[in-house]
Amino acid sequence: MSQDTTKQTQNHKIAIITGTTSNLGTNIAYRLLHEIPSDYRLTLIVTSRTLARANECIHDIKKYNEQTTKRKGILDFDYLLIEMTDMVSILNAAYELKQNYNKIDYLYINAAQGVYAGLDWIQATKECLMNPVKASTYPTYKLQKVGVKSRDGLGLVFQANVFGPYYLIELLKELLSKSEDPRVIWISSLMSKPSYLSFDDLQLLKSDVSYEGSKRLVDLLHLAKYKQLYDQYGIKQYVTQPGIFTSFSFFKFLNPFTFYGMLFLFYVARLMGSPWHNISGWKAANAPVFVLTADIKHDKQDVKYGSACTLTGKEYLKNLEIDPTGKDDVLNYFQTLKLEWDEKLKNQITNTRKPYGY
Ligand SMILES: NC(=O)c1ccc[n+]([C@@H]2O[C@H](COP(=O)([O-])OP(=O)(O)OC[C@H]3O[C@@H](n4cnc5c(N)ncnc54)[C@H](OP(=O)(O)O)[C@@H]3O)[C@@H](O)[C@H]2O)c1
């Protein structure tokens, strides 16, 4: 490669944010516009399950750039329609990326879902009155369905939040290794206590806290993999958690009254000293964006980087230790399951045609 071409690729960053359409995903994108030197070319690959939402999101990010960052370099967009609960969709997405790009610099694993059935309003009221900070940090009144499987026959939350993204990373390792400073950033949660995961139910099919269990799996998988990813591929992987912020996903269970009630509770919790009530997606994106420039010599990879804020809402970073118990068992399980899926998908014909391009 000539010096000019090397410089050209170094000055061109390509980032994928899974679930870009979420409040956090869009704010990570906004912050990348500030973070990556303005004269660099930046390609943002927006992902969603639907084209309409991907388009809407691209429109919002473009508008943000026109009104705020006004980047000097080229800002271009692409989209990927990925359904994390469908292994063929993941395979297609990776295939399409390999066809269209010769490197990927940053991969954010942000998309996630739970299988919620609603709220236990009596329990919610009790918890909020007794301890508003705990009620809005570790709520136990969100009702989750038990035993939901994907069409692939896997635990749905397990596949959407951990196994699907893990498989995507595995498929993209080579492409990431072509970047001079590749990064993979997982979005975990505060809600990932060891007690949420049972080792005889790693697909979370018997669990009524499958969302929380999936985040515990994210933490363990990260601990078990980050060294290998760096040693073999030069990929720097970090795990982060965004604190607590307003999410679009729970809106369907709220009316204007309960929505503002929830916001009020968040502010009360912050005033009572909670460092985690960021409330805004922008502040929640602080840790995920910080680790993009973290230096692995000084910024440890075996901790969880957290977005926190002061009483007055000033953002800062607060890291959490991760209990590593069981990380090797988790990695073994994922490696074995990956081999099974490699075998199942080996004759899959990928369909990479897009409805229309950018
Ligand atoms: N909200 C909080 O307080 C909080 C706290 C801790 C951690 N987090 C984490 O922060 C991240 C973002 O949260 P959020 O509340 O902003 O998200 P959200 O509003 O729930 O949105 C979820 C995002 O994930 C995508 N998604 C969901 N299921 C998917 C699937 N099966 N396949 C592919 N994409 C899927 C959605 O994309 P489309 O709908 O466009 O397809 C959407 O962009 C998540 O990892 C969440 O666990 C949030």
**Which pLDDT score, from 0 to 100, does residue 357 have?**
42
Point out the catalytic residue in the list 150, 188, 189, 207. 188
Residues touching ligand 1 (Cβ under 6 Å) are 19, 21-25, 48-50, 53, 82-85, 110-113, 160, 187, 189, 241-242, 244-245, 247-249
Structure tokens at 23: 């409040």
Residue 127 has pLDDT above 90, yes or no: no
**Which pLDDT score, from 0 to 100, does residue 119 have?**
84
Active site residue 63: no
Looking up tokens 């973290």, which residue turns up? 294
Residue (of 179, 168, 187, 202) closest to 110 by Cα position:
187
Nearest atom, ligand 1, residue 50 CA: 41
Give 20 Cα–ligand 1 centroid separation in angstroms: 8
**Which pLDDT score, from 0 to 100, does residue 118 have?**
86
Q: Give whole-number Cα distances, 352 to 14, 162, 348, in Å.
A: 19, 24, 12
Task: Report all structural domains of the chain as residue ranges with CATH numbers, in order of start.
Answer: 9-112+151-242+284-299+325-345 (3.40.50.720)
The answer to which of 34-43, 209-218, 226-235, 341-350 has the lowest mean pLDDT is 341-350
Residue nearest to atom 11 of ligand 1 (CA): 110
Nearest atom, ligand 1, residue 110 CA: 45
Active site residue 211: yes
Beta bridge partners of 183: 106, 236
Residue nearest to atom 38 of ligand 1 (CA): 48
Where does residue 106 rank: exposed (0-12), middle (13-18), buried (19+ CB within 10 A)?
buried
3-class secondary structure, 37: coil
> 295: Cβ–Cβ under 8 A, 6 or more apart, which residues?
none
**Which pLDDT score, from 0 to 100, does residue 1 have?**
57
The answer to which of 127-131, 154-158, 264-268 has the lowest mean pLDDT is 127-131
DSSP E strands, the chain: 12-17, 41-48, 75-81, 106-109, 116-119, 142-144, 183-187, 236-241, 244-245, 277-279, 303-309, 315-321
